[in-house]
């Protein structure tokens, strides 16, 4: 059975697809509650400015030390699509662990991502990958780090970047925060100047809950690459609102779309992160 599964999936779950998918699992539009009038939601902007909205954003973010959830997702690239399920576990600001199961309940891919490294086990072709963000970004032709990935997966704002100068507006019944640049805080820049990433960023907030419903991140010097995310179907988990549906689009040379739905969400229950590479597996670059 294992060989049959390999033959069916190995071409679609190759290394670049897997990394793209796991560097962007999130989706679904719309928080459907009624929004207050445009005039009413402009009052906080006039009286207190963008700092007020940014403060509310931070106040309403998901607070956690441990995160665990099941998910199902659909991936689309170059007109081809794949469906899969999996599990994600996160130790805040430290480690992201993802298991992907395309079919028949048999794990195909396991990822372990830390602040400094990306490790992947591909059980479909008995290979593994170990690298740093520089090698991953060079391979994917992008510029990501752990903080950006963690924020996008959970619908939070970036944690270790300068707050910058945000501009506040009202856009179709939601608050919109925009900034032309956010630099990585120096104490969190681990290697060279290449890790000091500056983004153009737009964030849309629900006018009632101040949760992020839509976000865009674009590198200032690379206009052809943009990550766009949508968050919807917010439900209460441990007294906090969390988006059960997420949607991502990576606008690059090839447009990649991922939709994900989350279930069995657990917050602040300590998790294990098993990751053992079989001795028979071959390392890939």
Q: Under DSSP, is residue 11 helix (H, G, I), strand (E, B) or coil? A: coil
Residue ranges of the domains in the chain? 2-283
pLDDT of 159 above 70 = yes
Q: How far is CA 126 from CA 7, 86, 131, 202, 252, in A?
A: 13, 19, 17, 41, 30
User: Which of residues 265 and 256 earns the better pLDDT score?
Assistant: 265
- Tell me which CATH homologous superfamily contains domain 2-283: Lipoprotein localisation LolA/LolB/LppX (2.50.20.10)
Residue of 204, 203, 200, 246 lying closest to 225 (CA atoms)? 200
Return the structure tokens found at 217. 């991140």
- Under a CB-based contact definition with an 8 Å cutoff, are residues 125 and 182 in contact? no
Confidence band (pLDDT; 50, 70, 90) for 251?
confident
pLDDT of 20 above 60 = no
Task: Give pLDDT tens digits for 202-229.
Answer: 999 999 999 999 999 887 556 677 889 9
The answer to which of 26-40, 92-106, 116-130, 180-194 has the lowest mean pLDDT is 26-40
pLDDT of 130 above 80 = yes
User: Which of residues 71 and 192 earns the better pLDDT score?
Assistant: 71
- Under a CB-based contact definition with an 8 Å cutoff, are residues 168 and 175 in contact? yes
Confidence band (pLDDT; 50, 70, 90) for 133?
confident
- CA–CA separation, 141 and 200 (whole Å): 18
Q: Under DSSP, is residue 251 helix (H, G, I), strand (E, B) or coil? A: strand
- Under a CB-based contact definition with an 8 Å cutoff, are residues 119 and 127 in contact? no
Task: Give pLDDT tens digits for 108-128.
Answer: 999 999 988 999 999 999 999
Q: Under DSSP, is residue 70 helix (H, G, I), strand (E, B) or coil? A: strand
Strand partners, 216: 202, 228
Rg (CA), the chain: 19
- What is the secondary structure of 75-143 as a DSSP string? EEETTEEEEEEEEEEEETTTEEEEEEE-BTTB--EEEEEESS-EEEEETTTTEEEEE-HHHHHHHHTS-
pLDDT of 15 above 80 = no
Strand partners, 21: none
Give, rounded to a whole angstrom, the gap between the first and last alpha carbons of the chain.
28
pLDDT of 8 above 60 = no
Return the structure tokens found at 140. 């994917």
Helix axes 133-140, 15-22, angle to 10 degrees: 110
């Amino acid at each position: 059975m294992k060989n049959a599964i390999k033959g069916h999936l190995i071409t679609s779950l190759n290394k670049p697809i897997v990394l793209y998918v796991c560097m962007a699992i999130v989706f679904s539009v719309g928080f459907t509650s009624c929004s207050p009038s445009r005039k009413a939601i402009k009052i906080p902007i006039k009286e207190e400015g963008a700092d007020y909205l940014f403060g509310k954003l931070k106040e309403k973010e998901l607070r956690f030390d441990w995160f665990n959830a099941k998910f199902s997702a659909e991936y689309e690239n170059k007109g081809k699509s794949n469906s899969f399920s999996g599990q994600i576990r996160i130790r805040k600001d430290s480690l992201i662990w993802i298991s992907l199961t395309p079919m028949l309940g048999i794990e195909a891919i396991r990822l372990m991502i830390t602040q400094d490294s990306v490790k992947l086990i591909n059980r479909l072709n008995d290979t593994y990958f170990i690298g740093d963000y520089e090698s991953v970004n060079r391979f994917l032709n992008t510029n990501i780090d752990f903080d950006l990935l963690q924020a996008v997966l959970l619908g939070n704002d970036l944690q270790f970047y300068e707050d910058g100068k945000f501009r506040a507006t009202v856009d179709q019944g939601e608050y919109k925060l925009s900034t032309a640049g956010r630099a990585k805080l120096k104490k969190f820049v681990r290697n060279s100047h290449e890790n000091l990433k500056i983004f153009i960023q737009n964030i849309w907030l629900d006018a009632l809950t101040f949760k992020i419903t839509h976000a865009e991140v674009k590198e200032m010097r690379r206009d052809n690459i943009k990550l766009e995310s949508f968050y919807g179907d917010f439900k209460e988990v441990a007294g906090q609102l969390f988006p059960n549906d997420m949607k991502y689009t990576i606008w690059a040379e090839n447009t990649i779309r991922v939709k994900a739905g989350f279930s069995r969400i657990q917050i602040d229950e300590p998790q294990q992160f098993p990751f053992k590479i079989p001795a028979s597996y071959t390392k890939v670059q």
